[in-house]
């Protein structure tokens, strides 16, 4: 089985409360430009449509500054959706609207309960197996709950250091191709992943960690533009297949990566 083919995506707009109240690891050098963030997000949504996805919009909720990062709120494989107990308390209310939307779409819903915690940004699904980041947002109980929800797939934990999520430094860039950031932390995560993997994967390394977060959708690789990943752009240019660029400069100031802003559905 290869990386899943996707037909739909769920997105949520950028709330006005994001610039001041986003839950990030560090304060950015420059504040988030809200209008620019919304313009970039609109382009993001249009790109998903160009990739053939039917897009469902979840209403923005000012009470949840991070609600634009909708990918953290569910793990969906085939017709099953795991609704996690999210790692940061301020974000846990975000899952209510996602649960409702997925229920209406006909997904079988499984809800995670304490003491399990998990952000779906820690979940890398290769189409064959799961790798899940053991991070500040995801604990062992959360990983165990995911394994129980998807018993047909192997689940391996991967330690995440000094980054928000596993997908901050490792993502799928092809059916058996994984892109890995160039930092020692990313390299350590890859070594652990490779040692635990039940299948063989090819690896490509980007000098900048942020460049390692890409969207791979139905054969097209979506990555950040050269201005934001100057040391890594040649890596993507050297890969075969169609590619697209998406500017994510504003949401990246809130630790938001390309994978964060859509929940992809099969």
Active site residues per annotation = 165, 260
3-state secondary structure 190-246: HHHHHHHCCCCCEEEEECCHHHHCCEEECCEEEECCCCCCCCCHHHHHCCCCCEEEC
Please give the structure tokens belonging to residue 116: 């399990």
Distance CA 153, CA 155 (A): 6
Cβ atoms 138, 117 nearer than 8 A: yes
Distance CA 243, CA 258 (A): 14
Distance CA 156, CA 130 (A): 6
3-class DSSP assignment, residue 49: helix
Other beta carbons within 10 Å of 223: 29
Cα torsion through 86, 89, 94, 100, rounded to 10: 60
């Amino acid at each position: 089985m290869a990386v899943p083919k996707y037909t739909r995506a769920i997105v949520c707009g950028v709330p006005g409360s994001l610039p001041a109240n986003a839950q990030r690891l560090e304060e950015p050098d420059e504040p988030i430009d809200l209008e620019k963030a919304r313009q970039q997000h609109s382009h993001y949504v249009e790109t998903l449509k160009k990739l053939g996805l039917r897009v469902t919009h979840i209403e923005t909720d000012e009470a949840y500054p991070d609600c634009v990062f909708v990918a953290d709120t569910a793990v969906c494989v085939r017709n099953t959706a795991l609704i996690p107990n999210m790692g940061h308390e301020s974000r846990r209310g975000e899952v209510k609207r996602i649960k409702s939307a997925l229920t209406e779409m006909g997904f079988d819903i499984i809800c995670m309960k304490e003491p399990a915690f998990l952000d779906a940004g820690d979940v890398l699904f290769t189409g064959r197996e799961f790798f899940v980041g053991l991070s500040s947002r995801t604990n062992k109980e959360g990983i165990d709950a995911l394994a129980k929800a998807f018993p047909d797939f192997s689940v391996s934990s991967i330690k995440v250091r000094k980054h928000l999520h596993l997908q901050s430094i490792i993502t799928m860039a092809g059916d058996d191709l994984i892109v890995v950031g160039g930092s020692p932390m990313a390299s350590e995560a890859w070594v652990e992943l490779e040692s635990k993997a039940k299948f063989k994967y090819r690896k490509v390394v980007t000098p900048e960690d942020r460049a390692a977060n890409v969207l791979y959708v139905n054969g097209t690789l979506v990555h950040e533009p050269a201005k934001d990943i100057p040391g890594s752009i040649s890596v993507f240019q050297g890969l075969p297949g169609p590619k697209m660029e998406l500017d994510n400069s504003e949401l990246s100031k809130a630790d938001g990566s390309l994978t964060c802003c859509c929940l992809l559905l099969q």
